[in-house]
Amino acid sequence: MTTDVWHPGEQQLQASIGMQERLASVGQQVLRDYLTEQLRSFFPLLPFVVAAAADEDGWPWASLWQGQPGFVSSPDPQQLHIAAVLSPDDPLAPWLDAGQGLGLLGIELGTRRRNRVNGVVQSYGPHRIELHVEQAFGNCPRFIQQRLPLPPLPAATSAQVEELPALDAAARRLISHADTFFVASHAGSGASREGHLQMDVSHRGGPPGFVRIKGDCLLIPDYAGNRYFNTLGNLLLQPRCGLLFIDFERGDLLHVQGEVEILLPDSASHRQRIAALPGAERLWQLRVHRVLRRSRALAQPWQLLAFSPASQAIATGQ
């Protein structure tokens, strides 16, 4: 990799908390352009991965791909293969082709492990996606809630897909009770690699209700994390993103696209708004652009076993 592993958006936010110099050296150690043996053995354990790609207009989508453990494999340190048959209603399906940027997040809910891999699609067919790895790194489990799989849900008799003009009551209910969501982003053409967007998908978690809804906007706290600012750095340069909310019991997937304004604690009014969300160090305000609901798209429900200690601490004000 180049010596400058962070793009300008990430560097700007790192500098805002006085950590740019320190993270310049950390990045050399944690960001790799290949899969370590630990990552190569981790992904085949998973029954699903979260994926990110952009449509023809550059709007990111986040989705979830499922299979039996082993459906993701790594034939060598530069490649991940995903043996998944994407549903025609998957919002990523129309935009996957050789040469397109693709972000993947592997997350093991039972052990609260997660790792990210970003790269470019080498080939895409009806039963197989081959990804060339450009960036791979681990993430801390700080806000991952522990969940265990339950028996598979009955298969839906027909596709149940709704494109909504705005958040309806059911969508608002899911978001307002969520303790987890995923976010797809990219930094735009300024941080592209060899002509393709470098896609990324990240996990966000907190106590139930940590995402607030105000009209057609979502108010999302940004908690203390690894300070890499991969997602917020992307959004600073390119504010469009795609969110994925999951109803882990019913199996519904809610895809939300929106445009983000990041509020930093650099003014009294911003600090006041940030303080209204317990535990927040920054705030993102997302104006909803598009909503897609795929009912019963999750093959397997997941039972909540325990909230993460960090989520519990925010919920109890500790």
- Determine the average pLDDT of the residues in 215-233: 92
Among the listed residues 312, 248, 211, 209, the one whose alpha carbon sits nearest the alpha carbon of residue 64: 248
Select the more confidently predicted residue: 20 or 291: 291
* Structure confidence at residue 158 (pLDDT): 53
pLDDT 10s digits, 35-63: 999 999 999 999 999 999 999 999 999 99
pLDDT, the chain, mean: 93
pLDDT 10s digits, 61-106: 999 999 999 999 999 999 999 999 899 999 999 999 999 999 999 9
* Structure confidence at residue 1 (pLDDT): 42
CA angle 3, 242, 262 (to 5 degrees): 70
Select the more confidently predicted residue: 277 or 225: 277
Cα torsion 273, 276, 278, 281 to 10°: value is: 10
- Determine the average pLDDT of the residues in 211-226: 94
How confident is residue 192, by pLDDT bands cut at 50, 70 and 90? Answer: low
This prediction's pTM: 0.95
